[in-house]
Structure 1
Amino acid sequence: RTFGEVGRRRSRLGSGRVGPSGLLRTHTKGSALHDGIDLLPFLSLTPPTTPSNKGSHEKRYYPNPTNSRSTENKLSNLYRIQAHKRSTDEAQRTERKQQQMGRFFANKSSFRPVAAEFLATALFVWVGCGTAVASQRWGGEAMESADLVSIALGFGLAITTLAYAVGHISGGHINPAVTLAFVSTKMMDVKTGLQYAIAQFAGAWFGALILWGCTASITQQCQDIGADFTSGVCKKSLLPDGSGYGPPFALGANAVGPRVSNGAAFLIEGVGTYLLVMTVMLSAVHPKSGAGNAAPIAIGWAVLLAHLVLVPFTGCGINPARSFGPLVVDSMGGLNNWGRGWWVFFTAPFVGSLFAALTYKVVFEPEGEEDDVVEEAPGAEKETLAVEDGAATEKFKNEIDDEGSMATEMFSPQKPANMEGIDLASP
């Protein structure tokens, strides 16, 4: 079919025009060009070059067989343009959605470490404080050495397990005091440190809340036992007004001992945190540490040792989040454990952490110089292997060249002196 009589059809086609190459373009409302799609790439019309057309008053335009495309190709190109437009609109909508939600929560790579800290701290409080609740003697008053060891093991093994679990995601801090050490040594920016700390405090509260739900039934029978049952879980969980019972054994909340002064409690909590943070820095952070993947074990042992010493004095805080969770949940259950020296657990660990970070920065942090050590820099082994492989490859190539030259000498059509006149190259 021809597209002729362009001049006569202009009124019907609207404000159309013929381009310099004979292309028909329309600008009518509702056309493809009006919708943002140019039909010029899809239609190529050239005037015929036959002599019969010379001298005629009207030119007829025929499709150029060399430049025209099939109908399927034209439609496919049109579909591609429409798909591109849809994808662009979708990208713009996604960008607006991210701006509304905030980059932090829209970017999973930034959200996952904070979520890992929340989950790990919640599980740490559930395991550690749960061990403290389970190890209490239901009918006794004094803590025995077996109870002390079991509590220390519970907290130490919990740190080791969870550090292995989330260490590759968030670093496995599980402690605002450890996070402060990383921020103060400029290994972490302040914004990320605040996000970690908020997640840790929230996780500790959530873990203590779950622990209360798991152990709430322990005190349900205290009213039926009788007045003679004055020790154990009922006595230690009784509300101040005597109207009922709160979380069992106060969920292992930290408290300064009756024979321990606030100053002594502050010092012992600071030293225990110093031990923990120094172990983290020297085993997991120092580039020359030989701990490697065993660093969480050393950190767990540090927590275990701190609990063996601190539990009889303060219950061993050394972690403001761990102290915060049970205290808040106890308040929700009617127990007021914000007694004498509660501030120690939210100040001493941070002071001990800062001293540990300062010690590492001034004394133990390696300088930029290269020391004579056995440990090689990261990537040195790969470079050595690459050099060795290169040397081996070069040697192999030389051997191949030697063998090739020998083969050339052996099988080349040379004419021996005693075989003159014999053409070895002939069939």
Structure 2
Amino acid sequence: MVFQVGRVTFQWAVDRSLLGVRDASSYHEMIIDSVVDTRALLAEFVAMTLFVIMGCGTACANGAFDGATRLIVAFAFGLGILVLAYSIGHHSGGHINCAVTLSLFLGGKVSLFQAIFNFLAQMLGSISGAVILMGIFPCEDDMTTNLGSNIANPGYAWHQVLFAEAIGTFLLCFVVFETAVSTHASCGSNAVVAIGFAVFLAHVFLLPIDGCSINPTRSFGPAVVSHLRGCPNYTEGGLRDLWIFWVGPIIGAMLAALWQYPFSPECYEKIIASNKKIYMTPAGACVCCDNVPDQFLKHNPYQALREQGGNSSHGTTEEPDHFAPPPTAFGQGLKSRAGASGNAYKCFKPACFGCEA
């Protein structure tokens, strides 16, 4: 089913990877893509509705006033993301959070139009989930008195809450990039487990501070609906503090998107393809040799072995086709084509080597 509105084409289902990342040949193609996957929109709407019901509903039923009840609520939100992201990941990527959608857009994994409509679907899901909660928990039965809205604890200044929310959201988005997005990740479809536990950890950290948002769309629905229903025991503050639960997560999402670029597989490929040299720092990290002092630009030890008539540890004095950093230097590392073993060569310090694609 396909229909078009202006320059935007709405299509039911598009080709995706196992973890829901839209296939595209380039960053530019991904960002300007005008096709919006309507199946992804429906999946995000349903998942956000269920997420608010399960997570905020657990808070409404139990409260979050001490260590035991906070742990219950943290598990509800963490397991909620784990279960729902597993369920819809192959349809939409399982964002269920506009901060994650923003971070993936900035990281070049979601197109602008898909991100915008995902956001709208998530907002509608948050409102619908809060409306359903209103029917389940009358005013007198809601232990939070505000459908689980996020409110800054009076013991914390607004900037402390905002900073904490940015950290919690950064944790979540960082884990998303390093497990679900990175082609070098080893966890495959089990990335969702790590993401769910990241949400759990953020809630353990943030529940005493502000009830834990790290998800502006999750905060929006309960805050608006609880304010509109006007319970006599309604706790003020959900709408007043709502801006914090937008600004903090947005900052965290942006930082995670920027941070992921040095760790992306494309970064390794560019380093090798650039024919630049690699130098091992005293800390053990392999970096390009731009602006390295001359005293560190030593001769290639393979050349030294040939001059001395010695043998290398790989059984050859042939210089490798290209030099690869060890796995600890750039994550996965790049496998050397030299030698019978085919293992990655270690950095020789202090030495620089030419790199070839």
Alignment pair present for 1:270 and 2:146: no
- Give the direction of change, closer, same or farther, for the CA distance of 1:339–1:259 in structure 2 (3 Å limit): farther
Deviation at 1:368, TM superposition (A): 5.2
The C-alpha deviation readout for 1:229-261, integer Å capped at 9, x for no partner, is xxxx5xx7xxxxxxxxxxx62111000011110
Within 5 Å, give how 1:17-416 maps onto structure 2. 98=3, 104-105=9-10, 107-109=11-13, 110-136=37-63, 143-216=65-138, 219=140, 249-334=145-230, 335=234, 336-338=236-238, 340-367=240-267, 369=269
Q: Deviations over 1:256-290 (max 9, x none)?
A: 01111001001000000000000101011111111
Aligned equivalents of 1:100, 1:281: Cα separation in 2: 32
Aligned-pair CA distance for 1:104: 4.5
* Amino acid of the structure 2 residue aligned with 1:303: V
Task: Indicate the structure (1 or 2) with the bigger Cα radius of gyration.
Answer: 1
Count of residues in correspondence between the two structures:
250
Contact 2:150 2:238 in 1 (8 A): no
1:293 and 1:149 map into 2 onto residues whose CA distance is 26
Render the CA deviation track for 1:188-247: whole Å, top value 9, x for unaligned.
Answer: 11111101111111111111111111112x628xxxxxxxxxxxx5xx7xxxxxxxxxxx
- Partner SS for 1:251: coil
> Do the aligned partners of 1:205 and 1:326 also contact (CA within 8 Å) in 2?
yes
Cα distance in 1 for partners of 2:4, 2:103 equals: 32
For the residues of structure 2 that align with 1:128 and 1:310, how far apart are their CA atoms? Answer: 14
Aligned partners of 1:179 and 1:196 also within 8 Å: yes
Distance 2:95 2:4 in 1: 30
CA distance in 1, matches of 2:61, 2:45: 24
- Distance of 1:349 and 1:100 partners within structure 2: 31
**Distance between the aligned counterparts of 1:210 and 1:102, measured in 2?**
35
SS of corresponding position for 1:173: coil
Quote the Cα distance in structure 2 between the aligned partners of 1:362 and 1:100.
Answer: 37
Q: Distance in 1 between matches of 2:227 and 2:211?
A: 18
SS in 2 for 1:309: helix
Contact 2:165 2:206 in 1 (8 A): yes
Cα distance change on mapping 1:375 and 1:282 into 2, 3 Å? closer
Mapped contact 1:330–1:337 kept (Cα < 8 A):
no
Q: Equivalents in 2 of 1:306, 1:173: separation in Å? A: 16
Give the Cα separation in 2 of the matches to 1:100 and 1:306. Answer: 39
- Which structure is higher in RCO with an 8 Å CA cutoff and minimum separation 6? 2
Distance in 2 (alpha carbons) for counterparts of 1:171 and 1:112 = 11
C-alpha displacement of 1:341: 3.2
CA distance in 2, matches of 1:104, 1:211: 34
User: Secondary structure at the residue paired with 2:267?
Assistant: coil
The question of whether the paired residues in 1 share the 8 Å contact of 2:227 and 2:239 is answered with: no
Is the Cα contact below 8 Å between 2:149 and 2:238 reproduced in 1? no
Task: Find the aligned partners of 1:104 and 1:325 in 2 and give their Cα distance.
Answer: 28
Q: Which structure 1 residue ranges, 5 or more long, are not aligned?
A: 1-93, 137-141, 221-232, 237-247, 378-427
The aligned residue for residue 75 of structure 1 is none
Describe the SS at the equivalent of 1:249. coil
Counterpart Cα distance in 2 of 1:354 and 1:365: 19
Q: TM-score, normalised by structure 2?
A: 0.64
Letter in 2 for 1:308: V
Structure 2 residue identity aligned to 1:149 = L
Q: Which amino acid aligns with 2:209?
A: F
Check the 8 A contact 1:104/1:111 in 2, yes or no: no
Distance 1:270 1:376 in 2: 30
Q: State the TM-score, normalized to the length of structure 1.
A: 0.54
Quickly say closer, same or farther: Cα 1:211–1:294, change in 2 above 3 A: same
Instruction: Evaluate the alpha carbon distance shift between residue 199 and residue 99 of structure 1 in structure 2; reply closer, same or farther with a 3 A threshold.
Output: closer
In structure 2, the CA distance between the partners of 1:314 and 1:367, relative to structure 1 (3 Å rule), is: same
Instruction: Tell me which protein shows more helix as a share of its residues.
Output: 1
Shift of 1:337: 3.5
Counterpart secondary structure, 2:146:
helix
Contact 2:223 2:239 in 1 (8 A): no
Task: Give 4+ residue runs of structure 1 displaced > 6 Å after superposition.
Answer: 100-103, 372-377
Partner of 1:228: none
Q: Aligned to 2:227, what secondary structure does the other structure show?
A: helix
For 2:186 and 2:5, locate their aligned partners in 1 and report how far apart those are by CA, in whole Å.
46
Change in 2 beyond 3 A, CA 1:214/1:359: same
Distance verdict in 2 for CA 1:366–1:122, change over 3 Å: same
**1:185: how far off?**
1.3
RMSD (CA atoms)? 2.7
1:132 to 1:103, Cα distance in 2 relative to 1, 3 A: same
